[in-house]
Amino acid sequence: MKPKPKYHFLPFTLIILLILCYLLLHPSRVAIAASASSTVYEQRLIHSPDGIGKFYMGREIAKVMGHTGALWLERPSREAEEQPSKVVNALNLKPNYVVADIGAGTGYMSFRIAPLLTKGKVLAVDIQPEMLDIIEFLNKENNITNVEPILATLTNPNLPSESVNLALMVDAYHEFENPREVMQGIFRALKPGGKVALVEYRGENPFIMIKRLHKMSQRQAQKEMQAVGLVWRETKNLLPQQHLMVFEKPQAQ
């Protein structure tokens, strides 16, 4: 008599394991649309611990830096490490400009720009009310009247149409949960010929000791900005570790 197979469940287990392996090795197969209105994102099961598992144009979106990191943004060593004053000088600001600092955090950049806008203002945009509270506090503390905090949503920077000369994003864009929608909002808010200045740690350089998802290559940034109609104008190579990339909203045809 033939002995009864002991492990008759094995083929089923194997099949299930094989299916699981396939799904894990082909994350795009389990992609889901991020929202009903958009299919530009995909959600993957396997992803970096520094990211949210949501991918946009091949890039994983980083986790948002919480307001408890406010002191880190204001660290005294930042001037030497990032040289933000070079960014301010390179922006060619005019006194009457309206500058939107998107992902303003504690207003580190907003408060460096505001003194140059003697007839203009900074719109300091962030999704975290706690960050805007810090900006309000610093406004009062230092008698500053031209930094206006604006509470954004995850999909909308809440800026008036065609009102902004320059939108600045410093170390922020890579963590926008809905970059396509936010950039479309920024595009609408820019005046024709208005500029976007994007500052991100250089993704091409593996020796820059910043987490991978907190860096961006020029190629990736150009692809993402182009997707909303912005035109790349120049990349200024004057910062020790970051790209300063400048894009433009074309003049109306």
Where does this chain bind ligand SAM (CB under 6 A)? 64-65, 73, 102-105, 108-109, 125-128, 131, 152, 154, 157, 170-172, 175-177, 182
The tokens for 71 are: 């002191």
Helix (H, G, I), strand (E, B) or coil at 69: helix
Instruction: Give the nearest distance from C-beta 177 to ligand SAM in angstroms.
Output: 6
Cα separation, 78 vs 69, whole angstroms: 14
Q: Measured from the CB atom, is 175 or 224 closer to ligand SAM? A: 175
Q: Measured from the CB atom, is 27 or 63 closer to ligand SAM? A: 63
CB within 8 Å of 159: residues ≥ 6 apart? 100, 123, 125, 150, 185, 186, 188, 189
Q: Measured from the CB atom, is 63 or 223 closer to ligand SAM? A: 63
User: Contact 245/223 with Cβ under 8 angstroms?
Assistant: no
Cα separation, 88 vs 54, whole angstroms: 32
Q: Measured from the CB atom, is 27 or 86 closer to ligand SAM? A: 86
Instruction: Give the nearest distance from C-beta 131 to ligand SAM in angstroms.
Output: 5
Instruction: Give the nearest distance from C-beta 32 to ligand SAM in angstroms.
Output: 20
User: Contact 150/128 with Cβ under 8 angstroms?
Assistant: no
H-run or E-run covering 29: none
Instruction: Give the nearest distance from C-beta 141 to ligand SAM in angstroms.
Output: 18
User: Contact 217/204 with Cβ under 8 angstroms?
Assistant: yes
Instruction: Give the nearest distance from C-beta 53 to ligand SAM in angstroms.
Output: 16
Helix (H, G, I), strand (E, B) or coil at 98: strand
